[in-house]
A and B are shown apart, each in its own frame.
Chain A
Amino acid sequence: QKEVEQDPGPLSVPEGAIVSLNCTYSNSAFQYFMWYRQYSRKGPELLMYTYSSGNKEDGRFTAQVDKSSKYISLFIRDSQPSDSATYLCASTLPYGGATNKLIFGTGTLLAVQP
């Protein structure tokens, strides 16, 4: 079982739709949770991160973590064609571990149709 699981999609939605992207993780010790966006032929760029459980909002984007169910979500409101990209979730253990590395999901490909 992968430590972070993500539905690869592709997910196709019309412009203006609310998009829900989801990941599950297996290690209950994970503490930081990130969402990266990767456009075609580019490197990933950090969208937002959350620490422990709860919600975090940034413009049209909301990240949500439910530690009880080990579920990570990213919601995109009023989706735009420019949101079309691969979205990667990632998690890390608490600081102080021998290897503080990001553990990535495989990414979900999102296409927003104009």
Chain B
Amino acid sequence: DVKVTQSSRYLVKRTGEKVFLECVQDMDHENMFWYRQDPGLGLRLIYFSYDVKMKEKGDIPEGYSVSREKKERFSLILESASTNQTSMYLCASSLERLAALYEQYFGPGTRLTVT
């Protein structure tokens, strides 16, 4: 079974703090993704990575950055957290580029609250 784990289930941070969200997958997947999920807006893609040290912007990259130093690990960084970044953050992975179209495996999510 593919396992995607995220470092925290719940996180509370203050406005202006730098926040790190970690994601690890154990199935040697090439592709990794970061989404945020908000009521009424669904899942929106923040950043994705097709290979180590590679990253591409998704639909809403503003205020976020990512790091992929190892194949199994993909980090999402909020440079200066703001209240509008309060959300559920979901990490996903897929085997290779074509499979990303239809078969992504998600982690349990991190519910981030910025006060």
A binds B: yes
Asked if A64 lies at the interface with its beta carbon under 8 angstroms from chain B, I say no
Confirm or deny: A102 has a beta carbon within 8 angstroms of a beta carbon on chain B: yes
- Residues 30-72 (chain A) with a chain B CB within 8 angstroms: 31-32, 34, 36, 41-46, 49, 51
Chain B's closest residue to A95 (CB) is: B98
In the complex, are the beta carbons of A95 and B97 less than 8 A apart? yes
A88 within 8 A of B: yes
- On whether the beta carbons of A100 and B101 are closer than 8 Å, the reply is yes
User: Dominant SS at the A interface?
Assistant: loop
A42 to B97, CA, bound (A): 25
Q: Specify which of B41, B45, B98, B108 is in contact with A102 (CB 8 Å cutoff).
A: B45
The answer to whether A95 and B108 touch (CB under 8 A), given A8-B40, A101-B48, A107-B42, is no
User: Which size bracket describes the interface of A in this complex?
Assistant: 20 to 34
Decide yes or no: A44 and B90 within 8 Å by CB, A88-B42, A107-B42 being known contacts.
yes
Given the known inter-chain contacts A43-B108, A45-B106, A101-B58, please indicate yes or no for A106 contacting B41, CB distance below 8 A.
Answer: yes
Q: Across the interface, do A34 and B102 meet the contact criterion of CB distance under 8 Å?
A: yes
The reply to whether the CB of A104 lies closer than 8 angstroms to some CB of chain B is yes
Q: Please, which residue of chain A has its CB at the minimum distance from the CB of B104? A: A102
Determine the residue in chain B with the shortest Cβ distance to A107. Answer: B42
**Binary interface encoding of chain B residues 82-115 relative to chain A, with 1 for a CB under 8 A from any of its CBs, else 0:** 0000000010100001101111111111000000
| Interface check A24, CB cutoff 8 A | no
Measured between C-beta atoms, what is the minimum distance from B61 to chain A in Å?
Answer: 12
Q: Which residue of B lies closest to A98 (CB)?
A: B56
Taking each of B98, B100, B102, B105, which has the highest tally of chain A beta carbons within 10 Å of its own beta carbon?
A: B102
